[in-house]
Amino acid sequence: MPLFLIALALLQGAPCQGEAARHVAQARQLGDAFDLIGAADAYGAAVKAGCASVQATAIYLHGLVAARAADAQFGSASSLVPVKEAIAELELHAAADPVVRLMQAVLRGAMPAAQHERLEMALLIDQMLRMESVQLEAGFQGLPVVSAHEAAGFFWLQLHVYDEAGRAFDLAARRIGRTPHVRVGLARTAAGRGDRTAACAEYADLMTWWANRTATPPEIAEARAYLTGPSCARPSAGPATRR
């Protein structure tokens, strides 16, 4: 077996135990509920409980949160500092761990995405997708909480390039599955294209998946607002004809 796959097997074959495992399970639930900060903190709690193998994941998620915040500031130099710090912190684990190198690749792609530098971002997206594809084709999982394939779709959405975003989320759906992040990505892509029928269907699918959960993260509030807005309103049948 190639050294790359041996490293992956070692990484994914040693789950956390006891209290740390409970924190990891909570992190996954929070990630599915779109709470990246909560998921990162839960992974951090797992590290404190004795599971050092998820430390890189906590750093990765904090870096993604910082990158999303940087996008709101147009990728200013100061806003990208926490992203660069996360990449540097991951370097301590990257030499012997291909998964951590993939995390770094995603965070590097997040920086030009925040700055709306399309060409550089596209090159980095290609790199990170190739890296994760090797992992997936070997039978391993993608990156935790937000895979590289999902991140690629969100990067294209940041630039409002909906055709590329659609292709990215379609590919993510095939390779990763219809995760909650893929569902919201497909819905936003359809809405951005102005395809109301598809957007209504995708947001409805997201709400069906969300079911009876009581929390209302921004993504779920967004879905409800779209579904109750004019884009999904049924056409009026008009006044009845008198005979």
pLDDT digits 0-9 by tens, 8-64: 444 444 679 999 999 999 999 999 999 999 999 999 999 999 999 999 999 999 999
In this predicted model, what pLDDT tens digit does every residue of 171-180 receive, in sequence order? Answer: 999 999 999 9
Q: CA dihedral defined by 212, 217, 220, 224, rounded to 10 degrees?
A: 100
Q: What percent of the chain has pLDDT over 90?
A: 87
156-194 exposure pattern, b = at least 16 Cβ within 10 A, e = fewer: bbbbebbebbbebbebbbebbeebbbbbbbbbbbbbbee
Domain ranges of the chain: 160-230
* Measured distance CA(164)–CA(157) in Å, rounded: 8
At residue 76, the 3 state secondary structure works out as coil
SS3 52: helix
pTM for this entry: 0.91
| Environment class of 15 (CB within 10 Å of its CB; exposed 0-12, middle 13-18, buried 19+) | exposed
